[in-house]
Structures are given as structure tokens and as C-alpha cells.
Amino acid sequence: MDFSEIESRMDKTIDVLKQNLSEVRAGRANPAILNKVSVMYYGVPTPINQVAGISVPEARLIVIQPWDASILKEIEKAILSSDIGINPNNDGKVIRLAFPELTEERRKDLVKDIKKMAEESKVAVRAIRRDGIDKAKAMQKNSEITEDDLKNAEDTIQKLTDKKIEEIDKILSDKEKEVMSV
């Protein structure tokens, strides 16, 4: 039985978790929070990073400098209508996003959200494990593999699952430290 497909699906789940965590605002300026913000550019929704330069000159500041100055207002509107929770400051040339200091209560809320994301990833990994084991049982039922092969496959899939769950826990712990220490 080939376990590379199962491992690949589990890795994709972890990649999605990392992507989602990168978009969590931890009090530090992170350009990834703009990933889902699109601006109307010549009638086409376009990601901000394709119409402007994005830089982080300070720990709590993102500067967005559009390549076409006429789109400044559109970028400002897109940021205001998004759910990132930061008001843009437009000076006519660039847009500044200043990240406020996080309160202790807000940090705890963020940690709850992060734990929920990690738990959802663990559930997804366990579902992939279940699919893999079901597939192995079906193969054994169809006499494609022996009972011993089924037992070995179940053990291998479980070890893979444990490794991926451990990886998710490490990612969660690192992000928790980042949020609580900022």
C-alpha cells in the first residue's frame, strides 16, 4: 500500500494551517494579513501585492505604495471593507497601516482562535487517517492484501498521524508564544 498520498494530504492540511496562522494579527505588522484583500483595478479584483509595493519599516507598521497613484483611494476602500480591523492612513502618496498594541484580553482571544484552528487541522488529519485505514480494510476484504499487511498499514498510518499531530502541536505552541510575547 502506498502511504505517500496519505502523507501528502496531511501535509496539505498542515500547510493550510500555517497559511491561516500567518494571517492572524499578533500585534506585529505582517504583510500576510493583506493576502485576502483585493482592490478593483480596471474593473478586475486584484490582490494588493500586485498593484503596490508592501513594506514593513517598523515592527507595527505596514506601508503600501501603489505603483499607480490613481488607485490609492481604491486600496484604502478595499482595506476598510475587509475584516482586518485596521484603519488605513492615506497621505496622498502611500497608505500606512499602524498596528495597535494588543491588550491582554485580545491576546487570550487570539490564542483561543489559534487553538481552534489547530484543533480543526487535527480533526482533518484524523479524517485522512480514517480514510486511509478504510481503504486498507477494503483492500484486505477484496483479498488484495493479507491481514498482516492490513495490521502493518494501520500501524504505519497511525504513526504518520501521530507525527503530523505532533507537528501541529509544535506550530500551535510557537504561534501561541508569538502572540503572548509581543
Q: How do residues 108-141 score in pLDDT, each as one tens digit? A: 888 888 999 999 999 999 999 999 999 999 998 8
Q: What predicted TM-score, i.e. pTM, was given to this entire model?
A: 0.69
Check: CB of residue 158 under 8 Å from CB of residue 130. no
72 class by beta-carbon count within 10 Å (0-12 exposed, 13-18 middle, 19+ buried): buried
- The number of folded domains in the chain is 2
**So what's the pLDDT on residue 101?**
77
Mean pLDDT of the chain: 86
Same-domain check for residues 137 and 77: no
Same-domain check for residues 14 and 41: no
Q: Which of 77, 98, 119 marks a domain boundary?
A: 98
**CA dist., res. 27 & res. 25, Å (int):** 6
**CA dist., res. 155 & res. 60, Å (int):** 47
Q: Which of 75, 98, 121 marks a domain boundary?
A: 98
CA–chain centroid gap for 86, Å, is 19
**So what's the pLDDT on residue 25?**
65
**So what's the pLDDT on residue 130?**
94
Q: Which of 98, 127, 148 marks a domain boundary?
A: 98
Q: What is the pLDDT of residues 30-71, one digit of tens each?
A: 787 787 788 888 888 888 888 888 888 887 788 988 888 888
Q: What is the pLDDT of residues 71-116, one digit of tens each?
A: 888 888 888 887 777 788 888 888 888 877 777 887 888 888 899 9
Query: Could you tell me the CATH number of the domain that includes residue 35?
Result: 3.30.1360.40
**CA dist., res. 70 & res. 42, Å (int):** 11
Provide the domain limits for residue 78: 31-98
**So what's the pLDDT on residue 102?**
74
Same-domain check for residues 119 and 174: yes
**So what's the pLDDT on residue 99?**
79
